[in-house]
Chains A and B, each alone.
Chain A
C-alpha cells in the first residue's frame, strides 16, 4: 500500500513549456485534489475530483487542467508554464462518504518556472 504517489519530486521549466504532474493513489479513494503551497499563503486548492469522470475547480484553477479517467490517477497539467506557477504542489486524496476522514497527502512536487 503505497498511499499517494506524486512524480516528479522536482521540476524546472522554462516559461511557456508544458508538463504534467502525476498523482496516483492505491487506497480506492474517490476524492482527489491538488493544492499549491506558497510562502505565507498556506495551501490553496487548485482542482478536485469526487470520482472518475468528475472534476471541479478550486480556489486557484487558472493555468491548470485536470482529468480523472480512473479512480487511481489524477494528473495536473500546466499547458503554458508561467513564473507565477513556481510553487510546491501537493496531491491529496480521501475516502468519500466518511465525513471526517482525513486527507492523505503525497510528498509534493517542487516546480520552478524560469
Chain B
C-alpha cells in the first residue's frame, strides 16, 4: 500500500523569507504523480503544484517549486518570498499513474504553515 508522510505538523516563516515543507512517500510503483494542495482558513482545497514521476525536472509555479528526489522518495515544497496569503494547511498527495479513471489520491496528514508579518 502507498503511504504519504509529512513529518512537520506546524511551521512558521517570516514574510518574504523562504520555507521548505517536507514530504516522503512509500511505493513500489514506478509510474505515479505527486501533488501539493493548499487549504487556507476558508477550507477550500487549492492545487499548488504537480509533478510527474517520469520527469526529472522539478516542477515550478511562480514562487512555488519542488525538490523531487525519486530514489529517496522525497517530494518537498519550497515557497519563496513568503506572503501572508500563504498561511494555510499544505497537503502532499500521491497518485498511481496507471492511466484511466480508477486512480485514487492518497494524502499526507498536512503541515500547517503560518507566515508572520
Taking beta carbons and an 8 Å cutoff, which residues of A are in contact with B? 30-31, 33, 35, 40-45, 48, 50-51, 58, 88, 90, 92, 96-97, 99-100, 102-103, 105, 107-108
Contact = CB atoms under 8 A, between A and B. Distances in A.
Given A41-B109, A43-B107, A97-B99, 4 more contacts: A30-B101, A97-B100, A103-B45, A103-B47
A42 B37 CA distance: 11
Interface string B19-56: 00000000000000101000000111101001010000
Contact of A105 (B9, B45, B99): B45
B44 A107 contact: yes
B70 to A, nearest CB: 16
8 contacts: A42-B91, A44-B107, A45-B106, A58-B104, A88-B43, A92-B105, A97-B99, A107-B43
Given A42-B108, A105-B45, A99 B103 contact: yes
A58 B9 CA distance: 25
B26 to A, nearest CB: 15
Nearest to A108: B43
Nearest to A90: B45
Interface string B91-104: 10001011111111
A43 B106 CA distance: 8
A102 B50 CA distance: 8
Contacts of B9: 40
Contact of A51 (B33, B97, B101, B105): B101
A77 to B, nearest CB: 21
A58 B107 CA distance: 13
Contacts of A90: 45
Contacts of B47: 102-103
